[in-house]
Copies of this chain bind each other. A is one copy, B any other.
């Protein structure tokens, strides 16, 4: 089965939409994806840090380093 898309295509598709990010160490961040680069550095708008799915801190805009991201999921 030939591959029609690559992983970064998913990031392009969800620009402007809510995503949930899980970081190494377990922190979870939810926000609206506004930009990314080839290192998977991401900028989120209206970001919030979650604790077991519950809101913990509102953070507004945030720049996440790609190297510490475990996964990204459209929320």
Q: What is the interface of chain A, defined by CB distance below 8 A to chain B?
A: 1, 3-12, 15-16, 20, 22-27, 29, 34-37, 40-43, 47, 59-74
Inter-chain contact A7/B59, CB cutoff 8 Å: no
Question: What chain B residues lie within 8 Å of A34 (beta carbons)?
Answer: 5
Q: State how many copies of this chain the complex holds.
A: 7
Inter-chain contact A72/B67, CB cutoff 8 Å: no
Inter-chain contact A65/B74, CB cutoff 8 Å: no
CA distance A5 to B21 in the complex (A): 20
Inter-chain contact A35/B3, CB cutoff 8 Å: yes
Inter-chain contact B62/A6, CB cutoff 8 Å: no
Inter-chain contact B27/A1, CB cutoff 8 Å: no
CA distance A66 to B61 in the complex (A): 18
